[in-house]
Amino acid sequence: MPLPIPTLTEGRVTVRPIRVRDARPLERELIANRSWLRQWEASDPRGGAAFDVRATIRSLQQNARAGGGVPFLIDWDGELAGQLNISSIGYGSLSSGSIGYWVSERFAGRGITPLAVALAADHAFLDLGLHRIEICIRPENRPSLRVVEKLGFRYEGLRRRFIHINGDWRDHFCFALVAEEVPRGVLRRFLDGQVPSDVGVPSDADLRASRRSGLSGPSDGAGVPPTGPRLIRDSHGHTYP
């Protein structure tokens, strides 16, 4: 049986379980951030679908009860600031998951995302017992690339045309950590200044390949990662920012 979803706090940042009663404030935040998040939004190559925040929250909760994901909201001083999801959770010989997230434009630049991701990753490693956590980011999303670099996620490679985002298939850089790399936890290593340097830097060859592909869209990184406005909901945690 899946563990209850906890509320986790570090300083002014809290990640907490998403609830149906969050639908209205969450929808307001998504609408207010439409232009900020649009370029990172996961899309369906078969065509658009109606957007229903309340139904999506229920779907996330159902997936959580089945053990497939852990849906969080991100708060800053008690105010809704974004969303984070641990998704694609597998146990047994795989024992892994994927993290996706977005943060509102008005909260950008406050150091919220690294703390939220570290809290969620520690929950995945220490409470859920997962062995590997992955984050995949579009090459031009510089703010999110800084998040994985700050936390010491190790660069693993370029995935070509990996996820359908904002109307086309987009390249992604993928990063990961395994439990052995963070025996004291992701957050503790980050706060103690023990993150190794350069492990989260894509190779020159992959940087060149991503630029040549011309598939990554505009380079005005919105300050968030992989998917956005529709809520992070699919098998990879996407609907990223």
- Residue 104: inside a domain: yes
- Residue 228: inside a domain: no
Eight-class DSSP state of 125: I
Residue 49's pLDDT is what?
58
pLDDT digits (tens, 9 = 90+) for 179-225: 999 999 999 999 999 999 889 988 888 988 888 765 443 332 333 33
- Asked if residues 8 and 126 have their Cβ atoms less than 8 Å apart, the reply is no
Q: What backbone torsions phi and psi does residue 15 show, to the nearest 5 degrees? A: -110, 130
How many residues does this entry show for the chain? 241
Residue 227's pLDDT is what?
35
Residue 240's pLDDT is what?
36
- Residue 237: inside a domain: no
- Asked if residues 78 and 200 have their Cβ atoms less than 8 Å apart, the reply is no
- Residue 37: inside a domain: yes
Give pTM, 2 decimals: 0.87
Decide: residue 208, CB within 10 A, 0-12 exposed, 13-18 middle, 19+ buried: exposed
**Domain span at residue 123?**
8-213
- Residue 229: inside a domain: no
- Residue 143: inside a domain: yes
- Residue 1: inside a domain: no
- Asked if residues 57 and 19 have their Cβ atoms less than 8 Å apart, the reply is yes
**Could you give the number of structural domains in the chain?**
1
Rounded distance, CA 138 to CA 127, Å?
Answer: 29
**Residue 42: left if φ>0, alpha if ψ -120 to 50, beta else—which one?**
beta
Lowest mean pLDDT, pick from 58-67, 95-104, 136-145, 220-229: 220-229
Say whether pLDDT at 132 is over 60: yes
β-strands 132-137, 96-103 pairing: parallel
Eight-class DSSP state of 93: T
- Residue 222: inside a domain: no
CATH number, domain at 88? 3.40.630.30
Helices (H), 66-133: 112-122
Lowest mean pLDDT, pick from 34-48, 116-130, 190-204: 34-48
